[in-house]
Amino acid sequence: MFQNKTILDLIQRYRLVWAVGHASAVLNWDFETYMPPEGTRARAIANSELALLRQRFTLSLKELVGQAEKEDASLNEEEKGVLRVLKRQLDYYEKVPPELIEKLSKTRAEANQVWRIARKKSDFQSFKPHLEKLIELKREEAEKIGYEKHPYDALLDRNEEGLRTDDMDSIFEKLIPNLKRILAKVQKERTYPKRHELESVKYDKRVMESVNNSILNILDMPNETRFRMDISTHPFTTGFSLNDVRITTRYEGKDFRASMFATMHECGHAIYGLQVSQDLEYTPISGGASGGIHESQSRFIENVVGRSRDFSKVVTPMLKSKFKFLKKYDAEDLYYYFNLVRRSFIRVDADELTYNFHIAIRYQIEKQILGGEVSVSELPSIWSEKFKDNLGIVPKTDSQGVLQDIHWSGGGFGGFPSYTIGNVVDGMIWNNIRKEIDLPKTIRTKDIKKIKAFLGNKIHKWGSTFAPKDLLRKEFGESYNPDWLVQYLEQKYVG
Ligand code: MG
């Protein structure tokens, strides 16, 4: 796999960077799960020192990376991947001065605190100056990173390697009119209900835990050997190594599908982390290809598998045996409960069909604001306009609107599009997996290993050997093509 001497040297020296990343991951997992709240300050200090250490160790690889670049022509795919990923990391540290990174992290911390209160009070005015400052700094960052066409491109590329506004513009140009058409049809025919009485039914937490454990069994997770599940407010997945991947889930006490699908979503991320080739362990390419590709894996398990009719059939007997309140429901009822379709204000509550409207709105706003076309004071009114145009509804308060997401308070501009990329890639996987296996039958017979093998071979095993678009072209012959997502949704919702 790795033969080039310079690359082998690089991988050896990278171990220090890897070890710091490993330690930070354990600290963050502990912070989100078991740490008592008063540990917060010490943990923040430790984390920021570790981040500096990581930066210093990465920069110390510069000379070797330069050497490897000269040997580029003789490198194999994995070796090229190592070089590409390290160059990207170095590039950021070299272009963006430490003062700007520090200013950003300070402003972020302040803005986030103000945002928490502003969201509760629905008070955009108090958050406004902080958001203005953050946007100014992000523009400065974009200038330092550099771009060809649009300043937003610089930020998009940081989040999703190779992604440009041109990609997102053409994705949404195709997606939005089609989603509007499908949604109108679903609402007219009322095939998929807006509400379900099970949404308000309470569950016993211990029973829900046992449901989630059954889900882990169905998904054949290597529980207690290379994987574990804990609890946190916001579910997430983290990998300390390729043989120690953790997820968390949540228990809100009612509407049991939320906990079940959070578990499935995180399992999708975890399966990715567990199926990267063991040869890549401790190297710069042992992580996933990108946030968007990672999200495609979580959403494939959550939506394409988990919210399918066949999966409902598979889990219904198990669910009925555990939840006594499901006595009068059959698999078909549960399928519709898992797939309610409604136009809503809050992104994280959105269903599969309306979710991408929420991302389109944020994408367009981020692009305009980074491009200097609109000012921060105009955001609430632009938000309302875009909601009306896309979903036909207007939020009554800023808490339900522009203040709802944590992302902007953390300076996370350029991050939202990865969610839509995940859905678009799922359409492509759905199109391709059916050429090799009978997907409904595979789900119905709980032969999940087959699905995992397909995803492992096409995507997981490579880690980040290839940049996202190159990976897709290599495996599926095209990069982001939203047509398949439209076809998938069309077949599911109005087929
Ligand atoms: Mg996710």
What residue ranges define each of the domains in the chain, with the CATH number in brackets?
5-150 (no CATH), 165-493 (1.10.1370.30)
Mean pLDDT for 228-252 is 97
The structure tokens listed for 159 are 């989040």
The pLDDT, as a whole number, for residue 443 is 98
The pLDDT, as a whole number, for residue 495 is 83
How many angstroms does the Cα of residue 6 sit away from the middle of ligand 1?
A: 35
H or E element, residue 246? strand 244-249
How many angstroms does the Cα of residue 68 sit away from the middle of ligand 1?
A: 34
How many angstroms does the Cα of residue 418 sit away from the middle of ligand 1?
A: 10
How many angstroms does the Cα of residue 263 sit away from the middle of ligand 1?
A: 11
Mean pLDDT for 251-269 is 98
Query: What are the phi and psi torsion angles at 202 (to 5°)?
Result: -80, 150
The pLDDT, as a whole number, for residue 224 is 84
Catalytic residue among 78, 160, 266, 352: 266
Radius of gyration of the chain (CA): 23
pLDDT tens for residues 312-338?
999 999 999 999 999 999 999 999 999
Which amino acid does the sequence have at 251?
Y
Mean pLDDT for 172-178 is 98
Mean pLDDT for 27-35 is 95
How many angstroms does the Cα of residue 489 sit away from the middle of ligand 1?
A: 20
- Which residues neighbour 195 within 8 Å (Cβ) at sequence distance 6 or greater? 340, 342
The pLDDT, as a whole number, for residue 48 is 87
Q: Give Dmax (Cα) for the chain.
A: 69
Query: How long a stretch of residues is the chain?
Result: 495
How many angstroms does the Cα of residue 77 sit away from the middle of ligand 1?
A: 28
How many angstroms does the Cα of residue 361 sit away from the middle of ligand 1?
A: 19
The pLDDT, as a whole number, for residue 280 is 98
How many angstroms does the Cα of residue 295 sit away from the middle of ligand 1?
A: 5
pLDDT tens for residues 407-460?
999 999 999 999 999 999 999 999 999 999 999 999 999 999 999 999 999 999
How many angstroms does the Cα of residue 10 sit away from the middle of ligand 1?
A: 31
H or E element, residue 228? strand 227-231
How many angstroms does the Cα of residue 265 sit away from the middle of ligand 1?
A: 7
How many angstroms does the Cα of residue 409 sit away from the middle of ligand 1?
A: 19
The pLDDT, as a whole number, for residue 130 is 96
Given a contact cutoff of 8 angstroms between Cβ atoms, the answer to whether 121 and 161 are in contact is no
Candidates 344, 340, 341, 342; CA nearest to 393 is: 344
pLDDT of residue 162 exceeding 90: yes
The pLDDT, as a whole number, for residue 490 is 96
| SS3 state at 238 | strand
Query: What are the phi and psi torsion angles at 231 (to 5°)?
Result: -120, 140
Quickly list DSSP for 423-453: HHHHHHHHHHHHHHS-HHHHHHTT-HHHHHH
pLDDT tens for residues 109-130?
899 999 999 999 999 999 999 9
| SS3 state at 245 | strand
Q: Average per-residue pLDDT in the chain? A: 96
Confidence band, pLDDT 50/70/90 cuts, at residue 102: confident
Given a contact cutoff of 8 angstroms between Cβ atoms, the answer to whether 96 and 45 are in contact is no
How many angstroms does the Cα of residue 298 sit away from the middle of ligand 1?
A: 6
Mean pLDDT for 36-62 is 93
Known catalytic membership, residue 266: yes
Mean pLDDT for 349-360 is 96
How many angstroms does the Cα of residue 67 sit away from the middle of ligand 1?
A: 37
The pLDDT, as a whole number, for residue 75 is 98
